[in-house]
Amino acid sequence: AAGISGAPAPFDKGGVKLALVSYLSAGDFFQAYQAGAEAQAKALGADLRIFPGRQNAAEQREQILQAINLGVQAIIVDHGLPESLSDVVQQALDKGIKVVAFDVNLNNPKITQIEQSDHKLAESALNQALKDNGAAFKAGYVYVAGFAPLDRRNEVWDKVKAANPGIVEAARFGVVSDTTATSTADQAKAALRANPDISVVFAPYDEFARGVKLAAVDLGIADKLKIYSADISTADIQEIVEPGSPWVATAATNPAVVGAVSIRAAALQIAGETLPQTIVVEPVLVTQQQLRDAGVTTIEDLAKKIPAFSTSAAATATWIPLAAF
Ligand code: SR1
């Protein structure tokens, strides 16, 4: 690939090799994240090797070792289980390979951590839930422990419950797999049948929200339930705005932007720049009402209405051409 005129080495000459090693690939968020990473790598003239995530910790370890053997200059680790990654990531660092982590706490000062502001994301979704429903309701909560973003969002859920004793968590469920939405739907159906007084579900991952919506529609209770989530995609927007949808608000970043920020952070490190330990991409709250009022039906429409949604100033430099979304 061609180099970038005026860029620091090695980007002036081109041919920089990067690897993106994911734990999860299924679902809109991860596909858009990957597309953003690919677009930013292309804009940088870098070769990006993507290793597909299959929720398999052993395979992700193996893929990191493969990336090391390919001679990449940086590895972006996207989600995963810290305990199964720290030694192979250390091997990469020992070979002079830069490492950037998205949504997995690798607890190493040499590794820049990218995250959405998960606390803010959960706070905005839950503030909307309190605004719409008051401070006393029976809730369903979708959570799987062990994923850094979900654990951070869970801290906020615990705080909101402690501050509002009228919120009663009547059921907790959730599964993360390559069929997250349908598997969560099965669990949601059982939970909603057993707790017909649940009126609010906090489902802070769009695949969770999709599953709960599916369950509510199948049970014929969509008009009695309100779902508050995280993440957004064109498919999500269409599910949110459809008539009678119980999915009323979501707090989200543009995952393509997060993918691009991850690549830029890796590029800056390769170019020898010192980065902050943590780089945060800020989310925005999007409600069903706003989407319907503005006639938004796609992510592209949303980016036109909220310019901040299609770009981030994080990990930028004058020599880095920004990927366009
Ligand atoms: C299983 S973790 C899923 C979350 O990862 C990203 O942070 C997305 O926001 C998604 O909600």
pLDDT digits (tens, 9 = 90+) for 65-88: 999 999 999 999 999 999 999 999
% the chain with pLDDT above 70: 100
Query: How far does the centroid of ligand 1 lie from the alpha carbon of residue 113, in Å?
Result: 15
Give the number of other CB atoms < 10 A from CB of residue 107.
Answer: 10
Shortest-distance Cα residue to atom 5 of ligand 1: 149
- 265-311 pLDDT, tens digit per residue, is 999 999 999 999 999 999 999 999 999 999 999 999 999 998 888 88
Section 160-181 average pLDDT: 97
Beta bridge partners of 139: 169, 200
What count of other Cβ atoms lies within 10 Å of the Cβ of residue 204?
A: 28
Average pLDDT over residues 174-192: 97
What is the model's pLDDT at position 310?
Answer: 87
Q: Ligand 1 — pocket residues by CB below 6 A?
A: 29, 103, 116, 147, 149-150, 176, 205, 230-231
Average pLDDT (154-158) is: 98
Mutate to test the pocket of ligand 1, among 147, 153, 282 (most ligand atoms within 8 A of CB): 147
Q: Mean pLDDT in the chain? A: 96
150 Cα–ligand 1 center, Å: 7
Contact 24, 206 (CB under 8 A): no
Q: What pLDDT is stored for residue 308 in this prediction?
A: 82
Residue 173's alpha-carbon distances to 7, 70, 139, in angstroms, are 49, 40, 12
Average pLDDT for residues 320-324, to the nearest whole number?
90
Domains in the chain and their CATH numbers?
118-252 (3.40.50.2300)
> Could you please report the per-residue DSSP string of 212-269?
HHHHHHHHT-GGG-EEEEE---HHHHHHHHSTT-SEEEEEE--HHHHHHHHHHHHHHH
* Minimum-distance ligand 1 atom for the alpha carbon of 204: 11
Q: What is the mean pLDDT of residues 1-7?
A: 88
Q: What is the pLDDT of residue 27?
A: 94
Q: Whose alpha carbon is nearest atom 2 of ligand 1?
A: 147
Instruction: State pLDDT tens for residues 96-133.
Output: 999 999 999 999 999 999 999 999 999 999 999 999 99
**What Å distances lie between residue 27 and 41, 303, 312, CA to CA?**
21, 20, 23
Q: Which atom of ligand 1 is nearest to the CA of 180?
A: 1
Half-sphere exposure (Cβ direction) of 301: Cα atoms closer than 13 Å? 16
Query: Sign of dihedral through CA atoms 195, 200, 202, 203?
Result: positive
Q: For residue 1, what pLDDT band results from cuts at 50, 70 and 90?
A: low
159 by DSSP, 3-state: which? helix
At residue 207, the pLDDT reads 98
pTM: 0.97
Token digits of residue 301? 């429409």
Q: Is the pLDDT of residue 324 over 80?
A: no
Of 272, 285, 287, nearest in space to 317 by CA:
272
Using one digit for the tens of pLDDT, what is the confidence trace for 39-71? 999 999 999 999 998 999 999 999 999 999 999
pLDDT class for 325, splitting at 50, 70, 90? confident
At 2, the pLDDT band (50, 70, 90 cuts) reads: confident
Integer-rounded Cα Rg, in Å, for the chain is 20
Residues 6+ apart with CB under 8 A from 162: none
User: Cα–Cα distance between 58 and 151 in angstroms, integer?
Assistant: 22
